[in-house]
Structure 1
């Protein structure tokens, strides 16, 4: 079996490559140019170029005609409010993935986002209607709809994997976990943050990678699925638990940062099989 991974240099992509190395599969990876290549842990990996801004005539052939394409690429993050997602990223991804399908790709797994749900609260099933309130969420949601419409003309298997809140090594420095870790290791006494009462759905990135690979290695027509824990955890509890587990002396300073207005105070995912 041959699996293509686009966005393989990114936070999730690096962990997906490590997870794929545990399986007897051929891996074709592509990511942004520049920088060191992630360690794959396997000799069954090849890096092939695929520029989303200047794609080849046959994107499927460019990645050596994989059995499954696991698409993790997306630029412009973590600025969720930028129109860049709609104006630049969205048309690039539509063009590349549609090209691959029309040239023979049979199975596609794409990373979506919980921000597609918008300001809906509580436990959210993958079958729930989407109401994105950010350009990033809207762009992802539109890509999903375009791919589903494409299935009418070009039948292929699609899994739209909505990712919730992840944490782990190689995460962007502005995210909660690396910010906390950096402050603690720098010896700071306090960590300024929001009130911490938000309820979120957290998974370590290694588990996210494991679930994405499991979806890719069992090709099927799944539609939308949540990649989530199904367990609401407050941001306050998340921070305090990480501090305690690492034996740090840093103290959270609650109420120093505002709550994000593009997220509800309390939402989490319903895992596959529960909705």
Structure 2
């Protein structure tokens, strides 16, 4: 199987490329910055293309030549979820890119969506829950999904929409919770400022997420929405305390220093029955 991965040097992309290679896939990796790509451990094992996928002059037919699956991860502007840029630029630029890829002959497309498509809904969230996006990022992703569903009616292709929840691990945004905690521990800080930490979230190590995305890509007969998450809620405070213990640190947690974010509910996590069924199907084949 030959997979075209966009956003290949991003947080998710760099791990997905590694996971695909480990499973024997041939990978054409695309990213804008060739210098960043040269630092990737897999750079000599892939066909790398330095390109801006949103550039109108991009030769999509050449980029997708011989490709079985497009794994589309690229999405500029994160982690600013409230920026209008998401639907003023990314939405239509992404739609045009994927449409051109499908018209060039790509028959299977995996796109990473987001838990923010569910909006402010609380509790366990299954794929059957009606999307109610409440920030520009979630709105743009949900609208792209709707656009692609309609495109598939006119020009049939397999559309796999993987909703990512909270990922952590190597390459994560340096301002994300665990990265900031690790930096504070490394610096020998006495105190780590955080919220009260009682919010429940669905956290998943990035390497697990990459393996799940690989499994979805290789399940050629699967289409539709699928939550890519652990399915196990954990409080932010518990997650932080676990990391402190893992690091053998004695840093003091300054709970309540930051208010709770207003763009997400206090408690939500993924229902992963569909993911577990897909993984079980793949194991028994």
- TM bin, normalised by shorter chain, reads over 0.9
Unpaired runs of 5+ residues, structure 1, are none
Instruction: Identify the range of structure 1 (24-33 vs 116-125) with the bigger mean alpha-carbon deviation.
Output: 24-33
2: CA distance, partners of 1:243 / 1:220: 42
Q: Deviations over 1:202-253 (max 9, x none)?
A: 1000000111111112223421100011100000000000100110111211
Q: Is the 8 A contact 1:196 1:234 kept in 2?
A: yes
Residue in 2 that maps onto 1:159: 160
Q: Does 1:2 align with 2:13?
A: no
Residues 193 and 272 (structure 1 numbering): CA distance in 2 closer, same or farther, change over 3 Å? same
Q: TM-score, normalised by structure 2?
A: 0.92
Q: Deviations over 1:84-114 (max 9, x none)?
A: 0010111110110011112211000000000
Q: Deviations over 1:147-188 (max 9, x none)?
A: 001111011001100000011011111111101100111000
Unpaired runs of 5+ residues, structure 2, are 278-285
2: CA distance, partners of 1:87 / 1:29: 26
1:42-61 aligned at under 5 Å gives the runs 44-56=45-57, 58-61=59-62
Aligned length: 275
Per residue, is there more helix in 1 or in 2? 2
1: CA distance, partners of 2:27 / 2:43: 9
1: CA distance, partners of 2:15 / 2:261: 28
Runs of 4+ in 1 over 6 A off after TM superposition: none
Q: TM-score, normalised by structure 1?
A: 0.96
Residue in 2 that maps onto 1:35: 35
Residue in 1 that maps onto 2:109: 108
Residue in 2 that maps onto 1:12: 12
Q: Is the 8 A contact 1:50 1:62 kept in 2?
A: no
1:57 Cα deviation after fit: 5.8
2: CA distance, partners of 1:231 / 1:178: 21
1: CA distance, partners of 2:144 / 2:270: 21
2: CA distance, partners of 1:69 / 1:108: 5
Residues 24 and 213 (structure 1 numbering): CA distance in 2 closer, same or farther, change over 3 Å? same
Residue in 2 that maps onto 1:93: 94
1:44 Cα deviation after fit: 4.3
Instruction: Identify the range of structure 1 (62-71 vs 208-217) with the bigger mean alpha-carbon deviation.
Output: 62-71
Q: Is the 8 A contact 2:216 2:222 kept in 1?
A: no
1: CA distance, partners of 2:61 / 2:241: 46
Where 1:29 maps in the other structure, the secondary structure is: strand
1:58 Cα deviation after fit: 4.6
